[in-house]
Each structure stands twice: as C-alpha cells, then as structure tokens.
Chain A
Amino acid sequence: MGRQIAIVEDEPVIGQNYREILERNGYAVSVYCSRPEALAAFRKKLPELAIIDVGLGDEVEGGFELCRELRGMARHLPIIFLTARDSEFDAISGLRLGADDYLTKDISLEHLVARIVALFRRLEAIREPESSSEVLQRDHLVLDTARMTATWMDQFVPLTLTEFWLVHALALHPGHVKSRQQLMDAANAVLDDNTITSHVKRIRKKFLEIDPEFSAIETSYGFGYRWNPAKS
C-alpha cells in the first residue's frame, strides 16, 4: 500500500480525476468534499500529505481554516494548496499558514505528481538524517538537495518546494543569469513572469529575515536573476 494522500476538494469530478492519477502513481488517496468531513477523518487518522482547495463549498476560505487546524495537529505534514484562485494575496496567505506549496489548478498532473514526489523525498530525508545527503555550498548558503532544505549562515531558511528549486537553480551556477523561463522549468511550475518575480521577492525576504545584509540574488533587468558570488 502506497502513501496516504488526502484530497479536500469540493468539486467531485476534479477530486476523482486527481484520485485516479495519484492512485495510478501508487498512492492511496481519500477524497473529502467539505471541511468538517475532512477534519473528522483527519482526527481519526492523519494522512501523509494533504492537497487542499481554498474554497470549500460555502466556506470561501475553508481551505485556509483547514490548513491551520491540520498544521496544529501535525507540524511536519506536507500541505499543498491547489486552487482556482490565482491572486497574489491568496498565495501569500496560504504560504503564511504553513503550506508547503501553493499551486493553481492550471498545473498539469505530471507537475503535480513531481511535486508530491519531491515533498515525500524531503520528508524522508529529514527523517533519515544519516542518509547520504547531497550538499551544495555557496559561501553562507548550504543547500541539501536530498532533504530540500536550505541554511544561510547556519540558520534554517523555511523555503517552500518551489522556492527551494528556484534558489537551487540560481546557486548552481553563480554569476550566470537565469531567465524566468529557465527558473520556471527548474521549479516544475507553469508560472508567468510575474509569479517568478513575486517568488524571488519572497525568497529575498526570507533570507533578509536572517541576514539583513543579504544581496546574493541580483536582478538582471530584462533577463532574469543570478546568484551574485561577489557579495556573499
């Protein structure tokens, strides 16, 4: 039996489609249509990963509420928001509540599966600290590609999966400008330019909280971004 994934989705057809594709990839999937129903099930048994829609039936922000409750029950449970809402504000709210990723329903199922795989991998890597970790070090930055964790000046940087992949793509070749398209490919995401910009902004903010002097990610106007080796 594969890993247990819970899908909370008020649109039954989408839920069924996701269930089918995930089951085909070897996961055990349970689909819930409303927040109370999902919550009741989670109280009995926690899933290993939750995919939550923001709007649940009549509750416009039921997904956010559910995420908060779920995070209260399990601190390290990977949570993915999968929603039709594509506004910046919603994405920021979702990620602040402790979600690991915020995806719009535009994402292809392949990409979704890739993310789920990556999240589980990170989860495993954290659980097994002794395993052979692949570490990428750039001055103060240390990226554990197995666990998908990042530290700056030995402090943990709480990056989401998408953010981790973006940082990884930039830091892999310091000084090289990565275009937005290249970064998008690296993050396995279908995002427009604007979303990349806001992701980079969030990443900078997270680093700045640790180190106010942080300036390693540099904007190259018209092209994209690059990891600035000189400043580190």
Chain B
Amino acid sequence: MSLRTQLLIVSLLTLALPWAGCQYVREMEGVLRKGQEDSLLATARAITHVLANQPEALYRYPEHMRQLGDTELDVYAHQLQDPITIDGFADDWEPFRHDFVALPMRGLRDPYPSLPEQEGRVRYIAGVDAEDLYLFVYVEDPGEVLYHNPTRDGTANGDHLMLHLRSEGRDVERYWIRTAAPGDLHAVRETGPQQRRRVRQERRIRGHWQPHATGYQVELRVPLSMLGPEFGFTIMDMEADEGGSRYQAAWSGTVVPEFQAPLGYLIYPPPILSRLLEPFRQPGLKVRVTDRSGRLLASLGQLSLSDWLGAFDDTAPRLQLHDFYRAILDTVPRKHLIYLEQNGRLRGTFIEATLLGQEQAIWRRQADARKAIIAVAHPVAGAERVLGAVILEQSSDAVLTLTNHAITQLFNTTFLAIGLAIAGLLGFATILSLRIRRLRDATERSVTSEGEIHHELIPVGTGDELGDLSRSFASLLRRLDDYNNYLQTLASKLSHELRTPLAVVSSSLENLEQETLSEQARICSQRAREGTGRLRAILTALSEATRVEQSIQATEPEPFDLREVAEGSVHSYQAVFPAHRFRFVAPDRPCPMTGSPDLIVQMLDKLVDNAADFCPEEGWIEIALERERGQYRLSVANEGPALPEHMQEQLFDQLVSVREKRGDSPHLGLGLYIVKLIAEHHGGSISAHNLPDASGVEFQVVLPARQTR
C-alpha cells in the first residue's frame, strides 16, 4: 500500500467530525420537532376547549348530539365554495368528484324481485352555501326510464325522487320530483285531505332533469329556510307491465319507502363554527374539525402552496446543498397520506384513535417533497362522549435545523474545512511520496547494474528527515565510490609495489648465475628464475586492466572497417591455435565504424583466447559479424562446457574466473573485464550466454556503427 493510500485512509478519520455533527443535528432536530408538536398541540387544545364549551358549533340540534346515532341515514352536505348552476350536469361538482356517495338499488317487484344490491347504481352528493342546499343525484335505471304521464293517475307515475323534510316538532313533509320531459322542473307536494288530494307545485324547490345513456341525473336546489334538522330522499324506479299499467319496481335513497320510516339528519358545517375558528387562522396552518363520526365540519387555512411548489423549484444551488444535507439528516418517514376523505369523512387509524379520545401527533412526508407535514389531532370531549376532533396540520422544512441560518452556515463551513483538510493531507502525502520516489530513482540511477557508482547523488536541500536521508544516501554512495575506486586501483598499486622486490630477487638470481655454481645450485636457481617469471606475469596481468584503461583514454577514434579488422585477426588465430577449427562469418559489405581498431583487435584476442581455453581439442570456434539496424554484433562462440547460470553477469567483472583447471599461465579473470572496457569505450555492450543446444558458449559484443561518445 502506498504512503498516499495510507494517509488517505488516515484522513478518513476526519469524517468522524461530520458524523458527530450529524448526530448532534439529529438530536437538535428531535428537540425542535418536539417543540413544534407541543405548540401545535397547545393550539389544538385551545380549539377543543372552545368547542367543548359550545357544542352547538358542532351539532346544530341538541337531539342530534345526544343521539347515539346510526349515521347511515344522515345526509352530509359539503360546504360549497363556488356557485352551482342547476343544469343537470355534474361539472360544478368537480371538486367533490371523489366524495360522491354510492347507494344500492333495491328491487320491490318483478321483473326485479331479487335485484342484487348493486353498488354505484345510484350516486349522490349534497352541498350547502349560505342559503341553499344543493343535491345532485345520478341514477342508472335497471330497466327503462319512464317519464311522468299527466294523463294518468297518481302524483308521480314515472321514475321520480321523493324528498322528506321535517322541522322541529312537526310532521314530515314530502315533495316529489318528477317530470314529463327532461329539463327544468319544480317539486310538487300533495295537499288537502286523503279524499280530496290535490297536487301543487312548490316553486321554492327547483331542479333540472337530464337523461343519459343508462338512466338520468337530477340536480336540485332547496332553500335552507325550508329545512329542519332531519332530511332524506327516496328514488323510485317505475316500470310498466304488458298491460301498460305502471308499478314500483325498485328503490334507492336514504329513506325507505314505507310509512313512518325514520329520517336521518342533514349535516352541514354550522356557520358559527367558522366564526369560532377564525381567531386560530395562521398562515400555513390548516385547521379541520370533524364530528364524532369523522365528518368534516370545518376546514380553515391552507398548507402554503409554495411549500408544495418548492419541490419543483430547483434553480437555486443553495437548495441543492440543502438537498444534500436533507439526504443525510432526514428522518421523517416518507409516507403517503395517512388518512383519506371519503364521503365527507376522514378515515384512518389516526382519526379513529382521536375519536376514541387520544391525542395524536404524527410527522409525515410525501415522497419527493422537500417539506414534512406535522399533523396533530385532539378530541373534543363532550359531557358524555367525544363530540369530534380537531386536526391541525402544518408544513415545515423536512429538516428543521436547516431553517436555522447559523447552523446551515456551520455545516457549510465544516464541510469546507474537512474538504480542505483532506485535500491538504492528500496533497502533502503526494508531495512526500513523490520526494521519496525521486530519491529512490536517483539512488537507483546512480548505481549501475554492475554495482558501479557512475554519478553522484545530488542531495535534496530541505532540512527535514527526507533531506537528511538523501544527504546520508549521498555520503554513503560517495564513501562506497571511494572504496570502489580503492579496490579498482588496488591491483595496479599492488603490482607496482611488488615489482621492486621482484626486481631485487630476479636481479640477484641473475647475478648468482654468473658465479660458478654446483649443478644442484644451478637447478635451484633455475627454478627460482621460473618462479619469478611467473610472478612477473601475474603482476603484469594485474596491472593490465589499468594499463588498458589508460591506453583507452589515450586513443583517438579513427574510422575503420570492422570487417577487415575482424577478418585479419581471424586469419592469424588459426596459426596461433592450431588445435581448434576456426569459422568466420561476416557480411559481404564493409562494416565502417569509428573507434580504435587496435583496441578492437585486442578485444577479439581476449575473446578468442578465452574461447580457446574452454574449447576442447579439435573443437570449433566461430567468429561471426552481423550488421543490423545501425549496430554490429560481433560474436565469438566456442564448443565446450556451458557457463554456470549465476555467473553470466559477473563474468565481465575484475578478478572473476570460472576456470576449473589451473594452467601454467595465471588467470586473474581480467581478460573479459578488458573486453567489457573496450566494448563500453566504443559505446557497446557485451553479454554471454550458453548456446541453445548447450553445446557451447557464445560471447556477444554489440557495437554501434556510429560512435556516440
């Protein structure tokens, strides 16, 4: 693992800082939310307190409030915001299209004695404005729509509606809605005693009858002044038999078509409720009040529209940063609405629990919305039971903490600081590892693969540990270089120092031979002379490398033909080494190069010398010259034992020899070193390897055709 990676990992520890920050913010978030909950709950309590003291604001009629209540018979009228045109079409009711109440059609006689209770055959909706009640009824006729026939008997002998109205302490009044043809209509009522019954138009109740493909729809308007607490309606489907006489086939509605059938209550938000709630109006606060069965009685205020539109306003970059924080910090569950309004009722466990008397507070959030909504509900406690519920909703930023400018600023600053710290550490690590790598490269460059130190390491000037390291490397290399130089000159110094005592011995011996000696003494002296001769040869060989180095430095390069030089040399080798067979391979063109032909010859001599030493008698020695891409390859191969693998690199160093047998002439391993010196002087290189079939060894010198040095 690189130093940079390690430091990067260490720098990750700084991420603990924002983590701790997040924890803190979440903690604070909880506190802030609790605070908002508490304040909303306090408002809710205040509202419930007001309502509990004035129950008539929820129930216009005390008997309704006291009733345990089968609410199936009740008709709920929505508070209308826009005027309704009595035209028989449902367009005006568009805002309430989900609030239509479905009723079954129940059969009375053939052909529908057992008409299944088909949901949705009849749908209705009711609404109130300041003065009137509006009713819209949609009817699917299971048979044929029959219109009222004025020529026949009966108040209504076609399909018709019946309204049942009862004011306090009075009898039920009934009004028929029937028509001879589609269009505007008025309700009719029966007056007079049983025997002299007359049908009179009631002009206060207006309506419009509109047929459609499978039935008809009727829109009605009834003044509130006509209405008492109880209200209901019946839809009667008439059919005709074969004889043409009409009969009641099926019915629907909230009132059973029987004598003395019970009526339900007409429920609509009492105007006093809105007045009571008005003081609690706040921007962004939505207040809703339901009765004990969950019917919405009042709705005040709106969740601010911009809160919802905010989700689509992505232009500000600041908001995007907020989005990032939100993603980290948000803990509000992403839920859809937990309650739905159906038929004017609020449903869901939230409402049901409240109506059972529990206080509720829930945070929720719609998917993709930036805003979270807190909903608080409080039951309105009556004398005996819960009378209703107050529901408050307020939207706020999903992460409340972010609404605080100072904390957002702190966040931004912290992230910036951490970013800078990591970037700084990374940069520092990069610089550090770069310096270390540079030092390593410089150290590697200053020592050749042969272990020679060929240029000095320039120490880095800085005063830190790395500078120290580079300086000590430099001094180390310098000392090593000194020692290397000492070793390299040791041989020639040694030979020089030994030459004088050798001269003493040899000159003394020569003098001795001038004297008259006994035969025995002469033999001894002869042996001593031979010994000094060998010693001298060793000393000459020892200093040879130095002398070659000196003569290399003294030579001036001249142009010559390498092929001619090699060819000339090869001819003489056969004479010198008669025991071996020489082969020479060369290109047929001249091989011009620049350098010292004498040195090249000397190099070739050494190589051939070496080859001949290892070549068995009658073995072959091949000298080959090849030209390829601006360089010459001069190789000397010989039959003989293979080189030991590990020695192939060291062969060309001083005083290295792989010879096993000890001949008469001393071998100090300088021959190949000289070859290397000469090859390198010409800008070339040398390598040794065994022949592929292991039959021998090949030494290869590569020389550039053009002198580069």
Contact = CB atoms under 8 A, between A and B. Distances in A.
A106 B537 CA distance: 10
Given A106-B499, A109-B507, 4 more contacts: A105-B499, A198-B554, A222-B571, A223-B572
Residue among B503, B508, B570, B597 facing the most chain A CB atoms (10 A cut-off): B503
Contacts, number: 89
B507 A222 contact: no
A166 to B, nearest CB: 16
B27 interface: no
B36 to A, nearest CB: 101
A194 interface: yes
For the complex of A and B, the 3 pairs showing the least CB-CB separation, nearest first, are A222-B569, A221-B568, A105-B503
A109 B504 CA distance: 12
A13 B512 CA distance: 13
Nearest to A220: B568
B550 A197 contact: no
A193 B605 CA distance: 11
B110 to A, nearest CB: 138
A17 B536 contact: no
19 contacts: A11-B500, A11-B503, A11-B504, A14-B504, A17-B511, A20-B511, A21-B510, A21-B511, A84-B499, A85-B496, A86-B540, A88-B547, A88-B550, A88-B551, A105-B500, A221-B564, A221-B597, A222-B569, A222-B570
Interface of A: 11, 13-14, 17-18, 20-21, 24, 84-89, 104-106, 108-110, 192-194, 197-198, 219-223
B227 interface: no
Contacts of A223: 568, 571-572
Interface residues of B, number: 36
A14 B514 CA distance: 16
Contacts of A20: 511, 514
B499 A198 contact: no
A106 B540 CA distance: 9
Interface in B584-614: 597-598, 601-602, 604-605
A17 B508 contact: yes
A204 B412 CA distance: 88
A196 to B, nearest CB: 10
Contacts of B473: none
A84 B507 contact: no
Contacts of A89: 550
A20 B503 CA distance: 15
B565 interface: yes
Contact of B536 (A88, A106, A194): A106
Nearest to B507: A17
Given A86-B543, A88-B551, A222 B572 contact: yes
B496 A13 contact: no
A84 B569 contact: no
B496 A197 contact: no
A222 B573 contact: yes
Nearest to A85: B496
A100 B255 CA distance: 155
Contacts of B540: 86, 106, 192
Nearest to B576: A222
A105 B508 CA distance: 13
A85 B547 CA distance: 11
Interface string B488-501: 00000000100110
B234 interface: no
> Most chain-A CB neighbours within 10 Å: which of B508, B536, B598, B604?
B598
A194 B568 contact: no
Given A88-B547, A192-B540, A221 B601 contact: yes
